Amino acid sequence: MTVTATIRRAEQRDRAELARLCFASKAYWGYDAAFMESVRDQLTPSESYVAEGRIFLAEAPNGTLLGFYGFVYEDEQLWLYDMFIAPEAIRTGIGRMLWNHAVDFARTTGEPTFYIESDPNAEEFYLKMGARRDGQRIAAGSGRILPVLRYELSRPD
């Protein structure tokens, strides 16, 4: 099933819905309630994060939020900080649509590369999109060891 959606820049009024989608998307992978509560604050986009203007969301024609992504700079490197898909929109093409938009947006920054601290359940998607494993690091909130991926923007898709 393919879903029709439009992509637009997130606004402050979207924060509660973005947080709800983050939580539902993460929970989709079967994490237990204790883990989900431990990461709830990290799954709530801050006002300043939204204000930076690097979060984009996909909406269905009826206004339903289907997914979003967001970039941040960390230590002068560009990171795909968030990419969440509504559980009902997984495997509908929304992820690929958002990924392609994210790559196009990242190219406008002039950076040659961006990085991803991936949830283990999402790593396969990023690898299919052309990212490469570049190491691992400990997640700030949970202490889990997560894969770090790298995507080269200078190469043609």
pLDDT category, 1, cuts 50, 70, 90? low
Q: What is the 3-state secondary structure (H, E, C) of the chain?
A: CCCCCEEEECCHHHHHHHHHHHHHHHHCCCCCHHHHHHHCHHHCCCHHHHHCCCEEEEECCCCCEEEEEEEEEECCEEEEEEEEECHHHCCCCHHHHHHHHHHHHHHHCCCCEEEEECCCCCHHHHHHCCCEEEEEEECCCCCCEEEEEEEECCCCC
For a pLDDT cut of 70, what percent of the chain falls above it?
97
Strand partners, 85: 67
pLDDT of 116: 97
Give the pLDDT of residue 54: 96
Residue 82: what pLDDT?
Answer: 94
CB 7 within 8 A of CB 57: yes
pLDDT in tens, 58-112: 999 999 999 999 999 999 999 999 999 999 999 999 999 999 999 999 999 999 9
Q: In what side-by-side order are the strands of the sheet with 145-152?
A: 6-9, 55-59, 65-74, 77-85, 113-117, 145-152, 132-138
Whether the pTM exceeds 0.85: the reply is yes
Range in 7-16, 20-29, 104-113 the model is least confident about: 20-29
Q: pLDDT tens for residues 102-112?
A: 999 999 999 99
For the chain, the structural domain boundaries read 6-152
Bridge partners (DSSP) of residue 21 are: none
User: Does domain 6-152 match CATH 3.10.129.10?
Assistant: no
Mean pLDDT (the chain, rounded): 92
Whole-number Å distance between alpha carbons of 66 and 7: 10
For the chain, the straight-line distance linking the first and the last C-alpha, in angstroms and rounded, comes to 24
